[in-house]
Structure 1
Amino acid sequence: MHADTPRLPSHVTSRVVYLITPITVCVGKRQGRSPVSPPISHGRVVLTARALYRCWLSCKNAFPSPDLKKEWANDVWNEACAKEAYPDLFRQDEEFVYSSLGFLNDIKVEIKHAVESLYGFDTSRAPDIISRNASRAQALLSNMTFIYQEPNIGGPPHYPYRHPIIQRVINLTWFEDKEDDGIVFHEYFAPIPFEVIALVLTVVECCIGEWSDGTWKESKFTEERYKSIYLSHVNTLLNLHSHGQHQQGGDLLAQIQYDLLREARYVSPPSTTDILF
């Protein structure tokens, strides 16, 4: 980097987002101006927009349709301009397009070892271990047993949506340090949205499936295979939430949302997380 190149704020550079096509920007009024090299103000807005788009994937819909992606691109850009106080920046809508699959695959790679550890998969090549891994993967994926705090393979599971992998993935992905999205854009994560929980469960389900043959074999996170699984998790959570609102004991899923947020803040410096509460 040249010595005279301005530094961008650290909070918008903490994670990678996958920008498929280059950006051409027109500075000033849209009509009567030619595209020029983007100034540093444009760079700040681009990076903030990327981070915001990542939040929308996490908290609204991990698999937006092409039309929704275009709508989001416009809304996210406007929000980023407002946050960075550069309201007069313009862009060409069709050139601000993201891929969500890269983001989701990155989460999967990041949590691979956590899944192995917390669900008891063993990398040994011994035949009995391979057989046990395969049986464990099958049992965990059956009836969503993997979501329970105590999967109790072979018996009834206990405490749904309380398995520690959920908290671990949330911490690693959105709250690991003060520059992560869950801290910088805390308004999207208070409390932890059902869509975030559904995304986590979908990625974890993919990771467990990589052990279905008894030895780990990578499985790419594809929309064709996992969009329906994600939507199923979202719908299940929303239905349980709606049902819980009418129960005498209260909405247990709402409590889980707040518990996940409360625990997530402890992995970040207190000076940055106090703003959440």
Structure 2
Amino acid sequence: HPGPRSSSPQTARSSSPQAARPSSPQAGEKRPRSPSQNSDDLRSTQSPRVGTSSNRLRAKDLDDETREYANCAIDIFRCDVAAVEGFPDLSKGTEMVKDAWKATCEDLGKRVLSPSIAKMILNRAAQTRGELKTKTRPFTEALFDSGNNKKTLAANRAKAEFLKDGFRFAFACAQDTEMKTGLYKAAIIQKVANAMWFANSRDEGPSHPEVFNPFPIKALALVLTAIENTIDEYMTGMRIDIPFTAAEYRPVYESHVKSLLLFAENGAKYQLMEKILTRIHKVGRFHSGAQPLVSATKPTISQEVLDAALAEYEAGGDDSDEDDD
């Protein structure tokens, strides 16, 4: 993924903050690619297969060069699902695929994007959301009691309704009290972000600070949507799987995006949203075990010494280039 981002909440391509990914890296730099992406990433995708009766593309059908391009584009696309659009429709998803492929070609050289590879990349949107839900569920389950007796079911129903009321689940101090404080500071938010993007030093968060530092505001919306989906599964008291589909949860996601933008706007004077997003990245990076980011490397020689050396040279005090007698 390309180039540096500012430390403030970013603006998405055309419409929302923090979603935009610059089109190219800094001069002289290669777009970084996550080392966590490998050929295994291609196995669960569904795409037309070349020259087989099943008409499905498999990882072993790709030559090494094609696999490298596909993995690079998938890496970029997955980051864009977090930072640009969590529930892209076909039109937006196709645009994101083309952007990811274009960025890949900037690194690896021009190559035609085939329909089968494009579909493979596009399928990653649903796969990424599914992965997020899977990694969210254990943290949500911890909020509820196990068992199927009437008392437990009633308690779980009440808890689910309580957490959903006024987005109480997004507050730091609201899960077991009527008091709501610490909006967007609930511990579950950081836990989900850690599990999804900062599981280890090779994960997407540490590998792509240009995307995840600060944490994308739309990624936060996606986390909140996944938490809400897994809470919805307890609305009957017993967990019942509710598919994390675009049809059902895109409106929920968009509502969270809208609320986050409003919060960012209202708290702009104190940079409240920026501080929350910066902290999610900082804690996540620490959790991953990756080295802290260094904002600037200090020179080994002070500027004062360099200035003095230059002044000496300009005054004619350096004759090191003259021939010795």
TM-score (norm. length: structure 1): 0.82
- Bigger mean CA offset, 195-204 vs 98-107: 98-107
For the structure 1 residues 258 and 92, does the alpha-carbon distance in structure 2 shift closer, same or farther, using more than 3 Å as the test? same
- Closer/same/farther in 2, CA of residues 184 and 270 from structure 1, 3 Å limit: closer
Looking at structure 1, the residues matched to 172 and 295 of structure 2 have their Cα atoms a distance apart, in angstroms, of 26
Give matches, 1:1-277, under 5 Å: 10-13=35-38, 16=41, 19-22=45-48, 39-83=63-107, 86-93=108-115, 95-97=117-119, 98-99=122-123, 100-117=125-142, 120-153=143-176, 155-245=178-268, 247=269, 250-271=270-291, 273-274=292-293
Residue deviations 1:159-211 (CA, integer Å, cap 9, x gap): 11010110001000001112211122221111001101000000000001111
Once the two structures are superposed, what CA deviation does each residue of 1:102-140 show, in whole Å capped at 9, x if it has no partner? 3212211222111122xx201122321111111000110
Quick one: structure 1 residues 53 and 275, their matched pair in 2 at CA, closer, same or farther if it must change by over 3 Å?
A: farther
Q: Which runs of 5+ in 2 are unaligned?
A: 1-33, 51-60, 297-325
User: Structure 1 residue 275: deviation in Å?
Assistant: 5.9
| Change in 2 beyond 3 A, CA 1:253/1:15 | farther
Choose 194-203 or 176-185, whichever is displaced more: 176-185
Q: Distance in 2 between matches of 1:53 and 1:260?
A: 21
TM-align CA RMSD: 2.3
Distance 2:172 2:39 in 1: 31
Q: Tell me, in whole angstroms, the C-alpha distance in 1 between the residues paired with 2:40 and 2:178.
A: 41
Specify the SS of the correspondent of 1:160.
coil
Matching residue's letter, 1:264: G
Aligned-partner SS, 1:192: coil
**C-alpha deviation, 1:12, in angstroms:** 1.7
Is the 1:73–1:93 Cα contact (8 Å) retained in structure 2? no
Equivalent residues, number: 249
Contact 2:39 2:67 in 1 (8 A): no
Q: Pick the structure with greater CA Rg.
A: 2
Specify the code of the residue in structure 2 equivalent to 1:112. Answer: R
Alpha-carbon offset, residue 91 of structure 1: 2.0
Contact 1:45 1:80 in 2 (8 A): yes
Q: Indicate conservation of the 8 Å contact 1:191/1:257, yes or no.
A: yes
Q: 1:161 to 1:218 in 2, by over 3 A?
A: same
- Secondary structure of 1:274's partner? coil
After TM superposition, give the deviation of residue 276 of structure 1 in Å. Answer: 7.8
- Bigger share in strand: 1
Pair 104,15 (structure 1): closer, same or farther in 2 beyond 3 Å: farther
The 3 A distance-change label for structure 1 pair 108 and 152 is closer
Give the aligned residue type for 1:116. Answer: E
Deviation at 1:38, TM superposition (A): 5.2
Determine what percentage of the aligned residue pairs are the same residue. 22
8 Å Cα contact 1:148-1:158 kept in structure 2: yes
- State the one-letter code of the partner of 2:37: V
Query: What is the deviation of 1:152?
Result: 4.8
- Equivalent-residue separation in structure 2 for 1:40 and 1:15 (angstroms): 13
What letter is aligned with 2:105? Answer: C
Q: Which amino acid aligns with 2:284?
A: A
Following superposition, which runs of at least 4 residues in structure 1 exceed 6 angstroms of deviation?
A: none
